[in-house]
Amino acid sequence: MLREATDAGEAWLAEYLSEEEHRRGARVVDGYLLVALPTAATEDCASLVRAIELSTQVCRKHVIWPDEAGDWRRFDQVTVLGLPAGVTSASGEPAWPSLTGQAAALWSSIQRLGPVRAAVTEEGRP
């Protein structure tokens, strides 16, 4: 059941992130999938929890659960929740760097061909 729930969450999040990237004009949108179990994970599913959290498909994933007292365990391991509040003097959206020469050509290739085909093409260049 844990694997199926995670797969369903990944599928939903992948579609959502893809739509957001398209809406924002090909920007990469990062996502986190937080899987909250109703009870503590058993020893039998410890390897599955680890496999889920180590998987790099779609997004980062964390599995949390309450202890006997009802306090959430492993919550501090959720990367995005463990970060301190950001302090910045910048306003609005961050600006993308200006690319020139080889960097601009590579970025164009990545957007046109996708990262894998662009990397293969780049690897073949003298």
Q: Domain residue spans in the chain?
A: 1-77, 99-126
| Neighbouring-strand partners of residue 34 | 62
8 Å CB contact between 29 and 21: yes
- For residue 91, pLDDT over 70 is answered with no
The pLDDT assigned to 103 comes to: 86
CA distance 81 to 102: 37
Question: How many Cβ atoms from other residues are within 10 Å of residue 6's Cβ?
Answer: 21
Q: What digits encode the pLDDT tens for the residues 36-60?
A: 888 888 888 888 888 888 887 878 8
Condensed to tens digits (0 to 9), the pLDDT of residues 14-34 reads 898 888 888 888 677 788 888
Beta strands at 60-66 and 72-73: parallel, antiparallel or unpaired = antiparallel
DSSP string, 18-72: HHHHHHTTS-----EEEEE-SSPPPGGGHHHHHHHHH--SSSEEEEEEE-TTSPE
